[in-house]
Amino acid sequence: MKEILILDGYNVMNALPELQAMVKHDFQGARDRLIDLMAEYRTFRGIDVRIVFDAHLAPRAREHREIIQGVEVIFTKEKMTADSYIEKSIQELAKKRRVIVVTNDWTEQLMVLGSGAVRVSVRELELDLTAARGRIRETARQLRHEKDFLSNRIDEETLQKLEILRNKPEKKPSSNRRDRSDHRRR
């Protein structure tokens, strides 16, 4: 089963330099950008990603889950912090798969380590995101420059069959010049 990366959403938004400035003037935009970044990262790494946002101060808030670009986004219910939600989730998930939690919250980091999950700081995530984006750009550049040959798009067995056909001696049609020239004279 795939490993799962769980982010303390607001903790990451307030610690990731790309999002820190955005949070001050476009809070929803920063949240959307975090989701975009993690969707790209999820695809590149081949892992599941869950972002947990606090709603513990929102009166009468109910837990809300949705999948956005393949990323599971969770808003906790009233009186539940992202930390407590993540702690509860880890207990179930860690039994079946490798769980990685991204947070800079020291108390949460201790809880994560004690529950059998792996802790990653926001700085470590930032470095890996940067490296992943670089590899994505390099792969895209190589693909653009690679010539589009048929041999690059078909399986090896079909390629071998085509090679056999290509190397087969051709039967040359007999030349009937005389017939053609007689036809032209008429």
> pLDDT tens digit string along 114-155?
677 888 899 999 999 999 888 888 877 777 666 556 666 778
pLDDT at res. 61: 76
> pLDDT tens digit string along 56-107?
556 677 888 999 999 999 999 888 888 889 988 888 888 889 999 998 887 7
> pLDDT tens digit string along 24-63?
999 999 999 999 999 999 998 999 999 999 875 566 778 8
Please state whether 60 falls in left (phi above 0), alpha (psi between -120 and 50) or beta: left
pLDDT at res. 169: 74
CA 155 to chain centre: 26
Distances 95 to 89, 90, 159, 180 between C-alpha atoms, Å:
11, 8, 46, 83
φ, ψ for residue 60 (rounded to 5)? Answer: 60, 20
Handedness of CA 10, 12, 15, 21 (dihedral sign): negative
- Decide: pTM greater than 0.75: no
Cβ partners under 8 Å of residue 21, min gap 6: none
